[in-house]
Amino acid sequence: MPELPEVETTRRGLAPHLVGRRVVALDIRQPRLRWPIPRELRTQLPGQRIEAIERRAKYLLVHTEPGSALLHLGMSGSLRVLPAATPVGLHDHVDWHLDSGHVLRYTDPRRFGSQLWQPRGETHELLAGLGPEPLSDTFDGDYLWTRSRGRAAAVKLFLMDQAIVVGVGNIYASEALFAAGIHPKRAAGSVSRERYVRLAAEVKRILAYAIRRGGTTLRDFISPDGTPGYFEQELAVYGRAGEPCRVCGTPIRASVIGQRSTFHCPRCQR
């Protein structure tokens, strides 16, 4: 599933082609994605000028005067701006026709993504209760330490809890914990304030660097211009079970935490 850097890469790639443009019409070939495309999006979006495109967690919000389209890429979705005459493929489910003569095309082989609607002045239920953005000033080591007190859950699950901080998915949680030297199964409440300061700093550093590198290509992700992300080539532990640690040479171990694959170095992380 595309994580925060991939979604932010998509936002940055789309913005120059969308902001200021008017949505002329929608061409919905598959109305049932993860959830049915709501009537409000079908009736409210056509004819509107796109004011801005924002990311919240792993969602994209395309803002217009009456409200915002709320988009999620799911496990395999992608958004690309193409000439309107571009032939339609099997998994090209939705086109937004723009006044530029192009379309914003949503492609999703698995159909786990979504296109929903958020009226102006309201917060969609999917966005309610989310924690702070990891690249914001609100997120730091003191915040993590305070929220972790008394928690027996594994620190990796704590870091991936969207009510604690948004957008830190499986890949980047594994990478940040390695960089901070913290074992992913350690109880969140047992991690010291000092180590949380380092963990928060590593989350920020790794996410910012991954965004600069265009995100991580795992299976399906490509950016709006068709180029893949390049951070995958630099992953320290994720997906490297049995390979030597880049720091100490110890074989990377794989395990399962919360039904998700987890990778760590048994020597560097404690």
Q: What letter represents residue 75's amino acid?
A: M
CA distances to 39, 43, 90, 265 from 85, in Å: 26, 24, 16, 50
Is residue 34 annotated as involved in ligand binding?
A: no
User: Contact at 8 Å (CB) between 19 and 50?
Assistant: yes
Of 2, 134, 184, 224, the catalytic one is 2
Of 3, 6, 8, 232, the catalytic one is 3
Of 42, 198, 246, 260, the catalytic one is 260
Is residue 151 annotated as involved in ligand binding?
A: yes
Active site residue 46: no
Of residues 99, 72, 67, 82, the one with CA closest to residue 14: 82
Is residue 91 annotated as involved in ligand binding?
A: yes
Active site residue 3: yes
Active site residue 2: yes
Of 58, 156, 195, 240, the catalytic one is 58
Directed axis angle between helix 193-212 and helix 141-148, to 10°? 120
Cα 59 to chain centroid, rounded: 7
Q: What angle do CA 101, 5, 206 make, to 5 degrees?
A: 155
Q: Phi-psi bin for 182: left (phi > 0), alpha (psi -120 to 50), beta?
A: beta
Sheet harboring 114-119: ordered strands across? 52-56, 59-63, 67-72, 114-119
Q: What letter represents residue 90's amino acid?
A: L
Binding-site positions read: 91, 110, 151
Binding-site positions for DNA read: 91, 110, 151
What positions carry a catalytic annotation? 2-3, 58, 260
